[in-house]
Amino acid sequence: MNYTRIEISQDQLSRQSDIMERVADINARLETRPLALVDTYGCQQNEADSEKIRGMLKKMGYEMTRDEYEADVIVINTCAVREHAEQRVLGNVGALSHTKKAKPSQIICLCGCMMQEPGMADRIKNSYRHVRVVFGPHELWRFPEFLLRQLQGGKRIFETSPSDGCVTEGLPSARDSAVKAWLPVMYGCNNFCSYCIVPYVRGRERSRRAEDVLREAEELVRAGYKDITLLGQNVNSYGKDLPDGMDFSDLIAGINAIPGDFLIRFMTSHPKDAGEKLFSTMAKCDKCARHIHLPFQSGSNRVLSAMNRRYTRESYLDLIGMARSHMPDIVITSDVIVGFPGETEEEFEDTLKLVEDVKFDALFTFIFSPRTGTPAAGMPDPFTRMEKQRRFDALVALQNRISEEKHRSYIGSTTRVLIDGEEKEYLTSRTSGGRLVRLRADKSLVGTFQTVRITDSNTWALFGEIV
Ligand code: SAM
Ligand code: SF4
Ligand code: F3S
């Protein structure tokens, strides 16, 4: 794939840092501290980007709020992966015309994948006139500059020109959790699955340098983070664009060597690139979580080929066998699409059969959503929405039965968990395999590893007590 790596230079970043200081000075002269709200849609990559936006906002003197009426700056970080997500965004952005009316100085910004879609910036320009700033994922590092221009009374900003994307190091990050951290290792995607918009809006695959990833991982461990998730659309491609020959397994091994008690997770792995080296590295690395998220999308070879996934049902099943031979206790989760254009009843049954055969611990199920500009959006699609919904419900019912059975088999066992938060009367925790365990314990234990006995379960969670 023809792509020139673009790294944002130290000079460019210093300019943005200077701007952050200027905005902080402007804000310091106000009587009360200004407030900002960042709302995030989509995947973990967007969550990680939003933490950077919050990091920049905090440096510029903003305090965070959840109230859209009192916010001085609102940033909506959008997702384009399915139509439903887009409609939710547009509905919520439309409703912000009321907050803007109540507080005319409010600066409303839209960013993220949806803004990078052809025609979307124009649609916002013409139909959502209360939105002042629109920028795509490749321009995130320029956010301070956009905000300053607005504070100085500048024109509306639309920065969404097509790009293969860049690598930016050193942006501040205000992380949501003190226990769990996202660590992007690469950006973009080269796979062009025929249904997916991500490669069009996120650009080409580009890896962060290993020394930058390792340095950030060390900082996270030093700061007390206990659960580090390495992020990329296809982490198994990590390093292919770097000169030093380090691949994703080497990166896991490097992070595993950092002293400290913490867990390494990662997502997402593409089945065409996962294999022996990844699984043997996971098995050898004591800090690597016993979990893999390995989306299969369909159990039918014809559909997989039409999706441009570049593996077969058989090779996928071999991969699952390989993972389990290295780590018999590994938790396996997956993504699946129901109702891909032209998927027949028999082909859907192949998907059900694969789910029965593998017995995933959990499944993320989606009904196909046509995305303008992708090949699948132009394929004949004779099945009705009702038919697709019926298949979707059958698949969810099957997976719920499997998840419930799998969870029941944990009852009576003891396992190590990381307590990561609170939810109503429970503390929440995760096993190494990422299973949710609800516990009643003192909240001072959040952020600690504990051994628990599993006492009960349902389809979605386990319940336990500290031993
Ligand atoms: N890069 C990851 C991979 O290849 O597995 C997935 C990233 S995508 C953000 C998450 C999931 O959304 C995909 O695995 C797929 O199941 C689903 N998805 C993507 N495009 C879709 C579409 N057009 N309609 C329905 N589901 C879609
Ligand atoms: Fe989309 Fe496929 Fe890339 Fe995943 S691998 S982001 S599904 S194109
Ligand atoms: Fe959505 Fe962009 Fe992630 S399209 S799923 S936020 S990469």
Say how far apart CA 337 and CA 361 lie, in whole Å. 17
**Interval 223-279: pLDDT, tens:** 999 999 999 999 999 999 999 889 999 999 999 999 999 999 999 999 999 999 999
- Please state the atom number of ligand 3 nearest to the C-alpha of residue 137: 2
> Is 173 close to ligand 2, i.e. is its CB under 6 Å away?
no
Residue 71 structure tokens = 């916010």
Tell me which residues have their CB closer than 6 angstroms to ligand 3: 42-43, 45-46, 79-81, 113, 198, 201-202
Q: What's the whole-number average pLDDT of the chain?
A: 97
Instruction: Provide the strand spans (E) within 352-413.
Output: 362-367
Closest CA to 39 of 87, 76, 14: 76
Those residues whose C-beta lies under 8 Å from the C-beta of residue 304, and which sit 6 or more positions away, are 297, 298, 311, 312, 313
Span 428-444, average pLDDT: 97
The pLDDT of residue 4:
76
Span 123-152, average pLDDT: 97
Instruction: Provide the strand spans (E) within 105-204.
Output: 107-112, 131-135, 157-159, 180-184, 186-187
193 Cα to the center of ligand 1, angstroms: 9
Residue 234 structure tokens = 């296809």
- Please state the atom number of ligand 3 nearest to the C-alpha of residue 85: 1
Q: Is residue 348 classed as helix, strand or coil in its secondary structure? A: helix
Say how far apart CA 111 and CA 201 lie, in whole Å. 12
Q: Ligand 3 pocket: which of 40, 45, 52 to mutate (most atoms <8 Å of CB)?
A: 45
Q: Where exactly are the structural domains of the chain?
A: 6-166, 290-408, 414-466
Q: Are 428 and 184 in contact (CB under 8 A)?
A: no
Would you call 321 exposed, middle or buried from its count of C-beta atoms within 10 A (0-12, 13-18, 19+)?
exposed
One-letter amino acid at 200 equals Y
Q: Is the pLDDT assigned to residue 172 strictly greater than 90? A: yes
**Interval 148-159: pLDDT, tens:** 999 999 999 999
Confidence of residue 1 (pLDDT cuts 50, 70, 90): low
* Residue nearest ligand 3's atom 3 by CA: 43
Those residues whose C-beta lies under 8 Å from the C-beta of residue 283, and which sit 6 or more positions away, are 326, 327
Whether this prediction's pTM lies above 0.95 is answered by yes
DSSP classification of residue 32: S
Architecture of domain 290-408: 2-Layer Sandwich (3.30)
132 Cα to the center of ligand 2, angstroms: 31
The pLDDT of residue 139:
96
**Interval 300-351: pLDDT, tens:** 999 999 999 999 999 999 999 999 999 999 999 999 999 999 999 999 999 9
- Please state the atom number of ligand 1 nearest to the C-alpha of residue 189: 1
- Please state the atom number of ligand 1 nearest to the C-alpha of residue 367: 25
Confidence of residue 437 (pLDDT cuts 50, 70, 90): very high
How many CA atoms lie within 13 Å of 60's alpha carbon, on the beta-carbon side?
28
* Residue nearest ligand 1's atom 20 by CA: 196
Q: What are phi and psi of 121, to 5 degrees?
A: -60, -40
**Interval 380-408: pLDDT, tens:** 999 999 999 999 999 999 999 999 999 99
**Interval 34-54: pLDDT, tens:** 999 999 999 999 999 999 999
Architecture of domain 6-166: 3-Layer(aba) Sandwich (3.40)
Q: Is the pLDDT assigned to residue 57 strictly greater than 90? A: yes
**Interval 339-385: pLDDT, tens:** 999 999 999 999 999 999 999 999 999 999 999 999 999 999 999 99
Pick the CATH number of 414-466 from 3.40.50.300, 1.10.10.10, 2.40.50.140, 3.30.43.10: 2.40.50.140
Do 414-466 and 6-166 have the same topology in CATH?
Answer: no
**Interval 282-293: pLDDT, tens:** 999 999 999 999
